[in-house]
Amino acid sequence: MVNLVDNLREAKDILSNAEERTRSLERERRKVLSKLDDIGSGNYEQHVNSAVVEAYGGADIYNIPVVSHGSTHFFIDPSSLPEFERKRRETAQLKRIDVLKSNIQKISKRELLDRFGPGPHRVEFTLSFFHSLEDFHPDELKPNTFVVETAPANLMPHSVLLFLEMVQHGLWDETAIVHNKEHVLTASPTNFFTGESKSEDFKKAGINQVSFQEYNEHYPHDKYTLGFAGRPGGPDFYISIEDNIQRHGPGGFADAAIV
């Protein structure tokens, strides 16, 4: 009987120790999961991860603080993160960007069809050529015209909508086309007669640039095609006067690539 009691007590002690180890392991597991969540959300602690730099210690290149504690703000320096974490973040960010682009295109397509119809959409530009303002006599000039047909609404709705809105608001009236480079002609938001910039007019109308560089392989930068200049693009647009598929297509500007 005594031996049985002793065995029960020993078994009870073993179970108690096992339960304590289980609780200890569970606490450690929660800590690990919490740290993993912090890595995913960017909530690093300064004393835990070297990827965090103090805001006033050379982190002015980062605009938004990741962690704030009192009057001190902490930022993430992506270059000091482990490679696998950088790739994971980049992949997640690119997926979010793709979703945003897709949503913008869907909204733009609905508005484009509602305001301008199914297309095809065409815009006629009228150009006048003269050497100086003194030579400008509208009644005597024989205007030259060219017609632009946009890409279909289902392929590049965001860019087409912005372009047609600019035209509808008369923002390109009395502006100038300048010879920018040998391979393109660039339309500038500048009043030809006064020399004043019309950029603010585009901004006030809320149609000064695209939200992202919309590209479709079915409409590459062939000769005599149009594209928004700049990154992401607008309000300036350019006319390719030669084949610019390689120069202006995806990956054409190596110095503008995002690492």
Token pair listed for 136:
């400008």
**Can you tell me the distance from the alpha carbon of 98 to that of 87, in angstroms, rounded to the nearest whole number?**
16
Distance between start and end Cα atoms, the chain:
76
Is the whole-model pTM more than 0.95?
A: no
Question: What are residue 122's DSSP bridge partners?
Answer: 149
**Can you tell me the distance from the alpha carbon of 54 to that of 72, in angstroms, rounded to the nearest whole number?**
7
Using CA atoms, how far residue 168 sits from 16, 55, 163, 173, in Å, is 79, 46, 9, 10
CB 102 within 8 A of CB 94: no
For 225, counting Cβ atoms within 10 Å of its Cβ (0-12 exposed, 13-18 middle, 19+ buried), the class is middle
Instruction: Please report the pLDDT score of residue 35 as a whole number.
Output: 64
**Can you tell me the distance from the alpha carbon of 256 to that of 237, in angstroms, rounded to the nearest whole number?**
18
Q: CA torsion, points 12, 13, 19, 23, in degrees to nearest 10?
A: 150
**Can you tell me the distance from the alpha carbon of 249 to that of 67, in angstroms, rounded to the nearest whole number?**
39
Token pair listed for 184:
């393109």
Across the chain, which distance is largest between two alpha carbons, in Å? 125
Report which DSSP code applies to 133.
Answer: G
What phi and psi values does residue 145 have, to the nearest 5 degrees?
-130, 155
**For 144-184, how does the pLDDT look when each residue is reduced to its tens digit (9 = 90+)?**
899 999 999 999 999 999 999 999 999 999 999 887 778 89
Question: What are residue 34's DSSP bridge partners?
Answer: none
For strands 144-149 and 72-76, give the pairing. Answer: unpaired
List the alpha helices (DSSP H) in 122-170: 157-168
Question: Is pLDDT larger for residue 9 or for residue 199?
Answer: 199
- Closest of 122, 167, 128, 175 to residue 149, by C-alpha: 122
- Closest of 245, 237, 187, 254 to residue 216, by C-alpha: 245
**Can you tell me the distance from the alpha carbon of 196 to that of 144, in angstroms, rounded to the nearest whole number?**
24
Question: Is pLDDT larger for residue 254 or for residue 244?
Answer: 244
The pLDDT-based confidence of 209 (bands split at 50, 70, 90) is very high
**For 119-148, how does the pLDDT look when each residue is reduced to its tens digit (9 = 90+)?**
999 999 998 877 767 777 777 777 789 999
Report which DSSP code applies to 197.
Answer: B
**For 36-84, how does the pLDDT look when each residue is reduced to its tens digit (9 = 90+)?**
566 555 554 443 333 444 444 444 444 455 556 566 666 566 666 778 7
**For 210-224, how does the pLDDT look when each residue is reduced to its tens digit (9 = 90+)?**
999 999 999 999 999
Question: Is pLDDT larger for residue 249 or for residue 61?
Answer: 249
